[in-house]
Amino acid sequence: MIPDISCAILFYFFFKVPLCPEFGDAFKKLSRTYPLALIEFLMYYLPAVRGYLVVLTSFNRMTAIIWPHKYSTWWNRYLNCGLIAAFFAGLCSTWQLIFSKTSIVHFNDPRIPSYAITAIFKINGVEISNALSNVIQCSVVAVLGLVFNGVSLFYVSKKTPVLTSRKQKVEIAFLLVSIFDFVVELVYIIHQGIMFKLVSERRFLDPLFDVLYLQIPWIYDLNSFARPFLLVIICRQDLTFYVNFTISYKAPLTPLIGPMFADLPSSFFLQFMYFYNYFAPYVRSGLVMLTAANRLTALLYPSKHERIWRPWVFWSLVTIVVIVALLLSWFYIISEIIVIPFSPKQTGNYALIYGFDLFPVNSALNMVIYSTIVGGTSLIINLTSLFILMKQNSARAVTQKDTKQYFRKSEIGLCIVSLGDFSFELLMVIFQEIMNVLMLEAKYNDPLFDTIYLQMPWMTDLAILSRPFLLLFMSKQVRIVFGKAVFCGHHGSFMEVTTTTASKMPTKTAGTRIVISNGLVTIR
């Protein structure tokens, strides 16, 4: 996860920001102090290391399934060697970037302050292509990962088909993850293969080269956040919103797909997608606030919590959230949705806009008000929960240090998740408020409006894909379970945690064991 986060930061500031005309000139001035060769190397090296580490985890699980008795001995002895090999393999396809000649050039039109970083390295007059190196590295990673997971599934299904049917299902899931990784890598391989052909033919001014270069941020984000995206699949609401937003917001902006939207008339298809882009975030924010309220009542009234949150109460609150979201977005589904060029200076980029004939509504202002109220309420509820829990712990006559620290850390972790949600809500509020001001002044052709509009996809992805990372960061137990499940597959019992929970009688306690075995969680 560290290579993903580190490279995402570097990639954002040294690939995406230079392309933005509003920040291009400032980047060019500041770039004189940056070691561009080292930064360019890290932008390619860290994703390569990530790929080989994914392969290492697949190989780890395969050995745990085939040789369970020797697994611990082997990996206790050779794990560091495997990690060193992964970091060294990343160097094999990226070392030349350290010694390359880097420069900042205009991306396309010299009159537009949009820039790109180039890196050229030659040996005996022969240039080493970064695109070709990426094709080779991604091909190796994709094939090895698919082979290791396929062998694991084959061994589980053929050798132990009856005793480990659950294991077989889990292995199928791991193979599907591997296939997903393979497809993402394959897309990147095809992309880099075409780029290599264009570079080798020196067709830098070819429109296809520009189109493919602008797709790199999208493909890179898909490659980096593929696994968190698989975790998002668990939440159907997040998944449907992510897919809908990608089709209706990102795809029209892409020169490769945008022209397909150019001649689309206003239809129920466009109306529903536009409606869902507002409806789903409203529902998501409201449900996050409900979960925070649920935890607060559990702390305040532990004996009455189940009675308070009866099914009909829960579903009534969910219904209220959905109704509020509908009141703020229902009119989009019956209004005219128009496809327009994103900028009159460019071709191939389009955007969906809302016709104001039926209901003249400022959507940005609505989002600002709703996000501020819901995000602020969620933060206050979580901080109140943390304060109440700490106060309850300090007032206990019988000190149970381990249990106290466990609950406190857990509550602090949940508060961090709430702060993360609030931070993303706050950034979205700031962006929406800027757009609201520009819309009130009818400055739709202002470069700042275009800039903010183009940042919305990144902010949305960050808000949707952040929860898996926050969950792993929040809970040590979640990190252990996730790490063991990914690394060790079905090798014995991964972990046993003994906790003490209070029973109804104050003089007795009930022991609970959480046993995590074979990728399954059982409570005894």
Summarize the confidence of residues 173-188 as an average pLDDT: 72
Alpha helices in 475-515 (DSSP H): 476-488
Q: How many CB atoms lie within 10 A of CB 457?
A: 17
Pairwise pLDDT comparison (88 vs 201), residue with the higher score: 88
Nearest 5°: CA angle at 323, between 295 and 417? Answer: 30
Instruction: Point out which residues pair with 122 in neighbouring strands.
Output: 127
Domains 1-224 and 236-477 share a fold: yes
**Average pLDDT of 299-328?**
88
H-run or E-run covering 327: helix 311-329
Residue 7 contacts residue 43 (beta carbons within 8 Å):
yes
Averaged pLDDT score across all residues of the chain: 74
pLDDT tens by residue, 431-467: 888 887 887 787 777 778 888 888 788 777 777 766 6
Q: For the residues 146-151, what does the mean pLDDT come to?
A: 82
Amino acid at the residue 246: T
pLDDT at position 490: 41
In order, the DSSP letters of 150-215 are HHHHHHHHHH-TTTTHHHHHHHHHHHHHHHHHHHHHHHHHHHHHHHHHHHHTT-TT-HHHHHHHHH
- The count of other CB atoms within 10 Å of the CB of residue 147 is 15
**Which of 82, 53, 3, 58 has the alpha carbon at shortest distance from 177?**
58
Q: Domain residue spans in the chain?
A: 1-224, 236-477, 492-524
What integer pLDDT is reported at residue 340 of this predicted model? Answer: 82
Name the pLDDT band for 510 (thresholds 50, 70, 90).
very low
Over residues 210-230, the mean pLDDT reads: 69
**Mean pLDDT, residues 179-192 taken together:** 77
List, in sequence order, every residue forming a beta bridge with 103; answer none if it has no partner: 118
- Residue 444 DSSP one-character state: T
Band (pLDDT 50/70/90 cuts) for residue 499 is very low
What CATH number is given for 236-477 in this structure? 1.20.1070.10
3-state secondary structure 342-402: CCCCCCCCEEEEECCCCCCCCHHHHHHHHHHHHHHHHHHHHHHHHHHHHHHHHHCCCCCHH
Class of domain 1-224: mainly alpha
Cβ of 332: how many Cβ atoms within 10 Å? 24
Nearest to 337 by CA among 365, 357, 366, 362: 357
CB-based contacts of 349: which residues, under 8 Å, 6+ apart?
252, 253, 254, 255, 258, 341, 342, 343
